[in-house]
Amino acid sequence: MVWPFASDNVVDPKYENTTEYFKNAEGLYLYYQVHQAVEVAKANVLLIHGLGEHCGAPQWQKRLIPTLTKAGFRCALYDQQGHGRSQGHSTAYTHDIQNLVNDAKQFTEMIIAKESAGSKIPTVILGHSMGGLITFEVVRENPDLYDMAIINGGAFFIDPKVLTPTLNVLSTVLSKVAPKMALPDAIDLAKLSRNPNVEEYAKNDTLRYNGGLRSRTARSILDRIGVVTKKMASFKTPVYFSHGEKDLICSPQGTKAVYEGCGSEDKTLKIWDEMLHEVFEDPDSDLVLESIVEFINKRI
């Protein structure tokens, strides 16, 4: 059953020919945005949000997108299935992370075809949290499609305080009998950022999902982390790993392990002192944003 995230955002088939939705391989309509560079675009930057988030969140709209478009990059981003204004099979749910990887590939190909027709410019993909996991995997599977990747707060190791051993076992059992059931112990929003405005916005954002991980989604994420561990040496694309030192949701030790194990000869790791999960809205976020622009500019 196709389930729209919010009743006032039901997607009708008439949207198939609009510029705000694209239809994925599962027949779901996914909402997207394109933000043009201030001047002629030097690169396309695809942005992939994390679990429970959406592309209208302040970290994208007020921080990252203005910085990147001003620097000369075209930004394109979409609400993942079951998130924001997109359709899905349930709120913040996917049966298999591969479906989200496939969406990212399809979106990339669409943006390149629609926005870069007649001009070959570099393609960059930037993913945050679960979006970082998806970014790593779509680039690993499709290296010819991307010129570089940026992974922030990647979900390569879920902090045991968030996904406890008990919840880990529960996700295995429930994923088979109740795949859409939300596991207990939702993320503590106070752990998102040192900026108190982030917690307040997240609490009141009607397009954001703040509940527990769906059992099948949790199991699929954990299984995919295992795939990354086994196959990360095959990742050869230039990549920048960024992570908050005190991230209490996705532990930086996962990012460090993937950085060390991935096969790219052009890889950078930056652990940001004292920062939590949402580094793009940290009081010192300018340092993070400047480093991203610098990384891209040096490689185009």
For the stretch 168-197, pLDDT in tens is: 777 788 899 999 999 887 889 999 999 999
Residue 149, pLDDT > 90, answer yes
Residue 163, pLDDT > 80, answer no
**Low-confidence winner among 14-18, 126-130, 202-206 (lowest mean pLDDT):** 14-18
Question: 156: pLDDT confidence band, cut at 50, 70 and 90?
Answer: very high
pLDDT at position 29 is 95
Are 181 and 173 contacting, i.e. CB atoms less than 8 angstroms apart? Answer: no
Residue 6, pLDDT > 70, answer no
Query: Distance between CA 270 and CA 153 in Å, rounded?
Result: 11
Residue 15, pLDDT > 70, answer no
Average pLDDT (130-149) is: 98
Which residues, in sequence order, are bridge partners of residue 272?
Answer: 244
Residue 6, burial from CB neighbour count under 10 angstroms (0-12, 13-18, 19+): exposed
Which tokens sit at 146?
């991307």
At 31, phi and psi to the nearest 5? -75, 140
Query: Distance between CA 221 and CA 157 in Å, rounded?
Result: 10
pLDDT > 70 fraction of the chain, expressed in percent and rounded: 91
Residue 150, pLDDT > 50, answer yes
**Low-confidence winner among 11-25, 155-169, 278-292 (lowest mean pLDDT):** 11-25
Question: 16: pLDDT confidence band, cut at 50, 70 and 90?
Answer: very low
SS3 of the chain: helix, strand, coil, percent, to 5:
40, 20, 40
Average pLDDT (35-53) is: 96
* Nearest CA-CA partner of 132 in 104, 112, 92: 104
Average pLDDT (137-157) is: 98
Which tokens sit at 108?
């990339």
**Low-confidence winner among 14-18, 136-140, 213-217, 286-290 (lowest mean pLDDT):** 14-18
Residues 216-246 as b or e (16 or more Cβ within 10 Å = b): bbbbbbbebbeebeebbeebebbbbbbbbeb
Within 10 A of 284 (CB to CB), how many other CB atoms are there?
A: 13
Tell how strand 43-48 and strand 123-128 pair up. parallel
Question: 162: pLDDT confidence band, cut at 50, 70 and 90?
Answer: low
Can you name the CATH fold of 3-297? Rossmann fold (3.40.50)
pLDDT at position 144 is 97
Residue 42, burial from CB neighbour count under 10 angstroms (0-12, 13-18, 19+): middle
Query: Distance between CA 293 and CA 279 in Å, rounded?
Result: 15
Segment 272-288, tens digit of pLDDT: 999 999 999 999 999 99
Residue 246, pLDDT > 90, answer yes
Which tokens sit at 193?
């950022």
The H-or-E segment that residue 274 falls in is: none
Average pLDDT, whole number, for the chain? 91
Domain extents in the chain = 3-297
User: According to DSSP H, which parts of the chain are helical?
Assistant: 58, 65-70, 97-115, 130-141, 165-177, 196-204, 215-231, 252-261, 285-297
The H-or-E segment that residue 89 falls in is: none
Length of the chain (residues): 300
Residue 10, burial from CB neighbour count under 10 angstroms (0-12, 13-18, 19+): middle
Question: 253: pLDDT confidence band, cut at 50, 70 and 90?
Answer: very high
